[in-house]
Amino acid sequence: MSRQDTLFAPAPRIAPRDLQLQSRVLAGDKRLARTLDALSSPVLILNEQRQIVHANRAGLAMLDGAELDAVLGLRPGEALLCRNLDACREGCGTGEACRSCGAVLAILSALDGEESTQECRVSRLDGGCLDLRVTAHSLELEGETFVLFSVLDIADEKRRDILERSFFHDVINSAGGILGAATLLQDGAGDEDPADLARMIGESASELINELRSHRELMAAERGDLTLSPGEVDLDQLLDDLGQLYVRHPVAEGRSLGIMPCGCGYSIYTDRTLLFRILGNMVKNALEASPAGEEVTLGCERWGDGARLWVRNEGVMDREVQPQVFHRSFSTKGKGRGLGTYSMRLLGERYLGGQVSFSSSPERGTVFWIELPAILVPSQ
């Protein structure tokens, strides 16, 4: 198979008439159809062009309960409304981001005759996120080659992994700071000023409460239960408050934090707490990614009728990392640490009605931003 016509997998699809013929052949194998429908796991059968030609009942349920005719000829990412499709001119599998997609890799391996199991993270156009384990192997039928593509939802497994590693990691760090300072106070403070130790205990306790609230908000947001409290937000004051908080944060040690305000007391109507948390994650991530001596810049500007708030650091992300940035279980900090960027997009887009994205280049460094309307209209 030639892949030179796209950025990754081949683009060609078969003619609609041939597609219908393949679908009838598979539907006509009653034993195969009954066996697949008896399975509780979603299964799709793809042709050599990676197009859906058959699906079991669980597979159609996974595809938002669609009828087979509605997804016939689509590729898996197209049927799942993968967000990366916007950058795939020739459809699912053909874009730069597809190089790291477990689903595409598994399907291509199966077409080369090798069974493959991969993990696959799908950020959907509707704001949802899927964590899947997919298995693909070849199937010969009526002289043609197909791919049997089975799917296992591992979202709960990933959530537990993140909870155990990320949540407990952050909570234990904050609790450890409180314990260390309290122990010094108990032992007479030694060479430390008791006032400094008391301040350290207060800051660590505040960080602990912040982590607990952050995880509680994220769980509520994923369930669709998060309650908004919109109001007028002075953006310059918001940036100043963020700067005051993070300039004293441990991750800012040895780094500088600059602020470029909107000016003129520009305000928008949104949920300040959520926006503060989203920008806080951006600032914290930027500081963590910056070597000592570098500057992180936080700023805002008018954007149409609303505002664009952004955080920039001087580093550049690896090319293969960039397509995975907003996936729930992906992180450059190690296994199980993938909540910050995922929560930015979930909260910023599903709840604040904005757009969250980033760019990374040697010329400009890495910039994360959120574009927000002037007035938040909560969804019903």
Within a domain: 9: no
Question: Domain boundary at 210, 226, 242, which?
Answer: 226
User: 322 and 261, same structural domain?
Assistant: yes
Distance of CA 373 to the CA centre of its chain: 22
- The pLDDT assigned to 3 comes to 47
21-35 per-position pLDDT tens digit: 999 999 999 999 999
- The pTM of this model reads 0.69
Q: How far is Cα 68 from Cα 22, in angstroms, rounded to an integer? A: 13
Contact present, 378 and 274 (Cβ < 8 Å): no
Within a domain: 93: yes
User: 101 and 25, same structural domain?
Assistant: yes
Within a domain: 357: yes
Within a domain: 307: yes
Question: Domain boundary at 111, 135, 153, which?
Answer: 153
User: 168 and 116, same structural domain?
Assistant: no
Q: Tell me what the pLDDT averaged over the chain comes to.
A: 89
User: 236 and 119, same structural domain?
Assistant: no
User: 240 and 379, same structural domain?
Assistant: yes
Within a domain: 67: yes
Within a domain: 11: no
Within a domain: 214: yes
User: 321 and 197, same structural domain?
Assistant: no
Collect contacts of 109-116 with beta carbons under 8 A, ≥24 apart. 109/136, 110/136, 110/137, 110/138, 110/147, 110/148, 110/149, 111/1, 111/48, 111/50, 111/138, 111/145, 111/147, 113/138
Contact present, 161 and 335 (Cβ < 8 Å): yes
Tokens of 98: 């597809």
User: 238 and 98, same structural domain?
Assistant: no
- The pLDDT assigned to 361 comes to 94
97-137 per-position pLDDT tens digit: 899 999 999 999 999 999 999 999 898 888 778 999 999 99
User: 183 and 61, same structural domain?
Assistant: no
User: 214 and 65, same structural domain?
Assistant: no
pLDDT grade for 196, boundaries at 50, 70 and 90: confident
- On the CB side of 258, CA atoms within 13 Å amount to 9
User: 378 and 231, same structural domain?
Assistant: yes
Least confident range from 145-149, 239-243, 322-326: namely 322-326
Tokens of 140: 């010969």
Domain total for the chain?
A: 3
Domain containing residue 314: 227-380
